[in-house]
Structure 1
């Protein structure tokens, strides 16, 4: 009997470890994340990219300018990587209401979809990622967490064939 109980406990532990967070987990968290309120004006960010083993492979900074007209927002991002590479991304965001968002950007494939609940936002999108002169189509599972009125922590899993191959962590600050 003890063997069966131990097996059940181990099985439950493995199932729990494999489950992922859901946006609903953040329903009642505060402060409440409102994209048009946070992403308005000038912002800065600093981040790292980690490979599948957790090793930091790149560091970068981002300068941003964001504005909104009604439910439509534009976020201009200028990246500078530690190896000197520069990149620009321009997001066009639409607030669909009820915490639902969609967006497009110059290097995003199709439309990104997002949902905000409480202090969190979860984005999902696909993009072509250049690595060492090769291009890879990857999926981003992108989470933003509003820490206070001037700070967001952004964590992204980069997924290929259902496996997380890298992670990006970014701290975004309002000026």
Structure 2
């Protein structure tokens, strides 16, 4: 009987910790009253340049990169072309098709994105989630990106992306995006 009570007590502690972890973190509504307002479609229209780093789960920088972006808009749809150049010489291209829905949410597709990316903007922030097939050392991994973009001013956005596999953080990407 004593072992059963100890087992239940341990189970309750684990459940409580999981519940606390699930309640932590930011929510898009936290940014409702912030400024400047982040009009995603207009910000990403035109020429942009990006500088970024990729970090492993320990926080060590494993890659650096630059991106040239070109966004064009038709109605509520943004076509955002991205040309990546990594510090090891690797180059790649991605083209996003991003739509602003009538309810203020965003959805998007790209060549290496699984299904549809989903996002919501409030105030100065955009929260964006998607699955991606990511190649690392010639191996393909399906990961989840939890993106937070913050508009700093008229020409600058900071992006923090947490990369997850099986619900665990496995890396992070930090970007500085500037309109040129």
TM-score, length basis structure 1:
0.90
Q: Distance in 2 between matches of 1:124 and 1:155?
A: 12
Residue equivalent to 2:173: 168
Residue equivalent to 1:36: 41
Q: Distance in 1 between matches of 2:104 and 2:34?
A: 14
Residue equivalent to 1:120: 125
Q: Distance in 2 between matches of 1:105 and 1:32?
A: 25
Residue equivalent to 2:67: 62
What is the 5 A alignment of 1:67-146? 67-146=72-151
User: Unmatched 5+ residue regions in structure 1?
Assistant: 1-10
Size of the alignment, in residue pairs?
A: 164
Is the radius of gyration larger for structure 1 or structure 2? Answer: 2
- CA-CA distance at 1:18 after TM superposition: 6.5
Q: Distance in 2 between matches of 1:136 and 1:16?
A: 25
Residue equivalent to 1:21: 26
Change (3 A) 1:160 1:16: closer
Residue equivalent to 1:8: none
Which aligned runs of 4 or more in structure 1 are off by greater than 6 angstroms?
A: none
Segment drifting more, 34-43 vs 165-174: 34-43
User: Unmatched 5+ residue regions in structure 2?
Assistant: 1-15
Q: Distance in 2 between matches of 1:17 and 1:104?
A: 28
- CA-CA distance at 1:148 after TM superposition: 0.2
TM-score, length basis structure 2:
0.87
Q: Distance in 2 between matches of 1:149 and 1:99?
A: 20
- The Cα offsets for residues 58-111 of structure 1, whole Å up to 9 and x where unpaired, read as 000000000111111100000000000001000001110332000000110000
Q: 1:151 is matched with which residue: 144, 156, 161?
A: 156
